[in-house]
Structures are given as structure tokens and as C-alpha cells.
Structure 1
């Protein structure tokens, strides 16, 4: 699974990255996590508001910080 965190480095973007990394480790998922900070790359995903969460090329959430349990649900769903 490939997970991308979209964001310029705002507080919510950093929090999203931290939660995703913790959950991937806790759930023992095989995931490559990348952080995309370049605005042009973020726009290519169609995301205008950050943070954004992309799993396997699909934008899951943008413009808000999802809850930990919500992120966990997305990761589990993508890994099955």
C-alpha cells in the first residue's frame, strides 16, 4: 500500500503524518509513506485544501484532519 500525506507543513498536516505512521506501525501494515509538500504535486491530486490523505492513488480526505479511528478504518480497508 502507498500512503501519501499532502501538506505544506501545517500543524494538521504534521499531525496527520504522525497518526498515519503510528497506525501503520501498530497495525503492522506493509505501507510506503511519503509526504508531498510541493504545491504543484498537491494540486495534481485535485486537492486545494490540506491536509490530504491519499491511499493507493485515491484521495481519501482533504481539507481536514480525520480522527484517529477514521484513519484506522481507511488503512484497514485499503490493506484487505
Structure 2
């Protein structure tokens, strides 16, 4: 019973990375654009991560707890 509960809880809290890409980066079509080297893009609807293109594939990168994405710095930073 405990094992079943742990499996059920794990399923609730784990979500595939593709769901974050679809949720936050769906506007970004890395197959058709040519971004600058290491260019990051603002995630749609959140400041707690950003989108990047890696070999024509869109990726969502979440910031560490307590950080927000800063478009100017192209990285996650602690807010002032």
C-alpha cells in the first residue's frame, strides 16, 4: 500500500519536460529561426525560467528557487 501511494504521489509531482516546453515556450519555433549563440528567450507567462534553442529543439530551463530570469543579463538572477 505504501509503495502504491509513493508511486501515485510521484506521478503527481513529476511531469515531463515537454509539458514545460509546451506551456512556456510554445511560441518559439527553433526549427525555423537562427538565434544568436547562447541566446535565451523570455518564457511565456512566467519569470521563473527561460527558453533556449539547442540544435533546432526548443528547451525550457527553470531558474533555481528564489531566482528570476533577467532578459538583459540572459540568466537567472536573485531579484533586487
* Structure with higher RCO (Cα < 8 A, 6+ apart): 1
Q: Which has the larger radius of gyration?
A: 2
TM-score normalised by L of structure 2: 0.25
